[in-house]
Homo-oligomer: A and B are copies of this chain.
Amino acid sequence: MKPEELIKLTVSEAATAIRDGATTSELLVGAFLARIDARNEAVGAWAHIEKDYALEQARRADQVRGFGNGTGPLHGVPIGIKDIIDTRDYPTENGCPLYEGNKSRRDAACVAALKSAGAIVLGKTVTTELALMTPSATHNPIDLERSPGGSSAGSAAAVADLMIPAALGSQTAGSVLRPASYCGIYGFKPTFGLISRNGVLMQSHTLDTLGLLARSIDDLALLTDCLSAQDPNDPVSYARSQPHVTKMGLSDPPLAPTFAFVKTPAWPEYADQGMQEAFAELKDFLGPVCEEIEIPGLDNVIEWQRIVQLAENAAYYGPLQDRGRGQLSDGLNARLDEGARVPVRDYISAVASREKAYEAMFEVFDTYSAILTPAAPGPAPLLSEGITGSPIFDGLWTYLGMPAISVPLLEINGLPIGVQLVGLRQDDGRLLRTARWLATRLENEESQSA
């Protein structure tokens, strides 16, 4: 296979190609490194990468396969790791000068899980400052004048630009789904507690959720199963059978799914005109399987997410601020100061309201297979605006702990917009199955109208 073919492979395809001898891990990793050489100066997706070390791992993977030893489901396939996730091979600098040169002696649980499935950690992808709102130096590969979103900026840009088949990201408000939407790829935030956060920078214990950026739903399912394991070191990790996502995620639904189109209370103020039109078209196209509904109380949910994140940011990052306020951006300092002033009663009420708010979802899912809602207010903002876009359409589902996927289905003037689908907690497989049904339905339509 030629390098230009290799870099287009998904994780599943690459793993199969290595397993079948159609390529080697060394050729695959070499192709991605060449792509990075050619493109990273313009895109700026990578924080740390060591070519020789990556190739050495690839050669070792090929040797293992050559010996006829057993191989894991990701054997020899490179993956990118957001630079807030501890790795023993590379520094973890959290997008913040206070962590310059910071290196962990241990891999985070999620990195160890990927390695034990055979994956090769290619390098660390750029994060915004402490995974918050200050933009990174990353460019959106679809349009280099635009933002890739945040905070998983490098992960999304690298996957979209064919520098890596998939990457780990994290979401506290909308840091996986928004960049996926802006960069035209898949973003998946599984159920809160499915992937252990042990070894990951904590900005909000109530909200932080690890997620994935990839170019196919098959990859999201495969990687989720590799990453899913109860971990006593993360108190929100829950017991589950394993693996379970691939089987349902790749199956066909017994009945056509139904969609609850939810505009959310953010719509009037935030929804871009083009995005509104694109969603109206999508709803028309889907016909009776998609109905617009209103879920009462979502305005509270948006506010509770905001309060919880603000206050927990202040609690976890406040000590950094105490140590080196001058090393943090003005925007971040202002945010942390605001968080420290959140009245403790409001914060506790916001945390304590979560389970009751989630219960309201059961009624929706009695009727519908998934909630359908925007992943972002519109296409990627221009870098010159100095923002990474708003997570307003994502944060409420993060707060509720529900699995959410951004499916790259819509476009406005050549710029992608993701369709967010949201499922019930611990029902990640069904959500991926529904997303796959939707993506296939739209592909068929496109090929028919072409």
Contacts and interface: CB of A to CB of B under 8 A. Distances in A.
Contacts of A316: 348
Given A311-B344, A315-B348, A318-B345, 4 more contacts: A315-B344, A315-B347, A315-B352, A340-B343
A205 B344 contact: no
A314 B343 CA distance: 10
Interface in A321-363: 339-345, 347-349, 352, 355
Q: Chain A interface: which size bin?
A: 20 to 34
Contact of A349 (B239, B315, B348, B352): B315
A345 B315 contact: yes
A361 to B, nearest CB: 15
A161 interface: no
Which 10 residue pairs of A and B lie closest in terms of their CB atoms, listed nearest first? A315-B348, A311-B344, A315-B345, A344-B344, A342-B344, A344-B347, A318-B345, A314-B345, A340-B345, A315-B349
Contacts of A314: 344-345, 348
A312 interface: yes
A3 interface: no
Contacts of A344: 311, 314-315, 339-344, 347
A297 interface: no
Contacts of A348: 311-312, 314-316, 347
7 contacts: A315-B348, A315-B349, A316-B348, A339-B345, A340-B343, A340-B344, A340-B345
A243 interface: no
Contacts of A345: 311, 314-315, 318, 339-340
Contacts of A352: 205, 315
A352 B23 CA distance: 48
Contacts of A235: 355
Contacts of A239: 239
A310 to B, nearest CB: 9
Contacts of A311: 344-345, 348
A311 B343 CA distance: 10
Nearest to A239: B239
Interface in A269-322: 311-312, 314-316, 318
A281 to B, nearest CB: 41
A193 to B, nearest CB: 12
Nearest to A348: B315
Interface in A137-174: none
Interface in A344-388: 344-345, 347-349, 352, 355
Contacts of A312: 348
A352 B348 CA distance: 13
